[in-house]
Structure 1
């Protein structure tokens, strides 16, 4: 597999694929952060999480089209507005979903799986009816185009650097909210002991609703980032939902550090293997490796200790 390349070529390949893996890592982290919050705190298996991501992508597409047609002078900064709108739209739909559907199914994980799978199909058909079956692309501002040369053989795309910077910013913000804010302390209290948290005056229903909305809102921002690395279609979210669940389970549910470590290891392994073999074989080898590790450590890389 490596015999056809010189050491210099292998070094360049590993660096380029490593950076491509970092872009994939960024999308995984943004998707998995929201899913880890929802699954880890609420025990809800949200199979529609990919559709919340695609909602954010379509909001970004609509924002780009509107600004390009009516406010062309602001096109260079529209993406920041699009990310905010994607967060609000996906978060609002998430809170509505929690109120109308999820709150009736707590402590019934298999029922949440079936219900959110049905919601996923409904949202896919809604996207198909509104935007059409064809995939759509988003035109990026001029400053996001092109690449930065690192060496004579290595270049990194500017939009990839932007996605990684966005991921770092959101991860730090989520860590601050969960571990430093008053609401974050309430979330962690509910995770550790829901009954006792309610007994001391915490409104657990409100915490659940805001948590679900936050998780879905982060997925919407992931959808905005996704438009820079791929085209958007009604079923595009399903391409990432399995990998996202894999990241969450492998890292350890409700563990922020585990989510980041898991996303990094999976994305780097998959990106590097895809260069030397087919994409399907790379995914199979990655999956088999994770299954083998989970057989030895079923709680994931970083398990959260809770009181029973």
Structure 2
């Protein structure tokens, strides 16, 4: 029983990171229909931003407030990824709308450029982020241990989910975003600036990938390929849940994360990836549109 609880907790924490990465994809891929192969590199940017903020705090600020660096790093990771995402959309993605293959190849090339840029700045060896004191240790109940950093990641993901839900369904911008997604010509006729909506939407998706990188930084070493470890599962979570559906992204991330941890516990990480991929393939054979489908009034 204790082992099962530990596996479920680890699966939930992995699902949370996949979900946080998938939030950005659910926006850029699900809402904008843009296949962004550089999305994993925004996770990397968020992780390296966390490292830089930690170094700034340790070198220039009193040790007494050093533990607060992580809260600053979350905001900084979102801001840096948001800004770079906005620039990428303005100068590259905006010229490739409706050309999925071209956008895929262009963003793949950008991902290689960003990886090489990270190697040039930080070196090819990985760097490590030290968790603040309040995230060290964990809660022990019998033989079950729940680490504070993973609990914090789960709560952070829940907070981000709430923020995305409020923006998409309770704000004027979210209404404009969904209008552009469902019927762009009609939204433009109603006076919505679709170019501005596209830019902010893509930047917001990139920003949440930066926050995902901030979470990943707590769990292991950071290098130029850290984002690639999560991007495939994130794409599968978005497709499995239903492209563009927030609730489907949550369920898809949970299925992939928990299945991966359970299988890896009894076999190996390689077999776990194969089993998860098989689950997704079998499911999409039966329901190719995913768990949930967004209905619109577009005429065939």
2:17 is paired with a residue whose SS is helix
Using the alignment, how far apart are the partners of 1:177 and 1:235 within structure 2?
31
Q: 2:27 aligns with which of 37, 43, 50?
A: 37
Root-mean-square deviation (Å)? 0.8
Q: 1:89 aligns with which of 67, 77, 80?
A: 80
Q: Which runs of 4+ in 1 moved over 6 A?
A: none
Match of 2:128 in 1: 137
* TM alignment of 1:2-41, pairs within 5 A: 11-41=1-31
2:226 is paired with a residue whose SS is coil
1:156 is paired with a residue whose SS is strand
Residues 1:104 and 2:104 aligned together: no
Report the count of equivalent residues: 297
- Calculate the TM-score normalised by the size of structure 1: 0.95
Residues 1:70 and 2:60 aligned together: yes
Give 1:273 deviation, angstroms: 1.0
Residues 1:272 and 2:262 aligned together: yes
2:124 is paired with a residue whose SS is coil
2:295 is paired with a residue whose SS is coil
Using the alignment, how far apart are the partners of 1:87 and 1:183 within structure 2?
19
* TM alignment of 1:225-304, pairs within 5 A: 225-304=215-294
Unmatched 5+ stretches in structure 1:
1-10
* TM alignment of 1:179-218, pairs within 5 A: 179-218=169-208
Give 1:246 deviation, angstroms: 0.7
Match of 2:48 in 1: 58
Using the alignment, how far apart are the partners of 1:234 and 1:63 within structure 2?
17
- Calculate the TM-score normalised by the size of structure 2: 0.98
Residues 1:113 and 2:104 aligned together: yes
Using the alignment, how far apart are the partners of 1:238 and 1:126 within structure 2?
16
Moved more, 68-77 or 284-293: 68-77
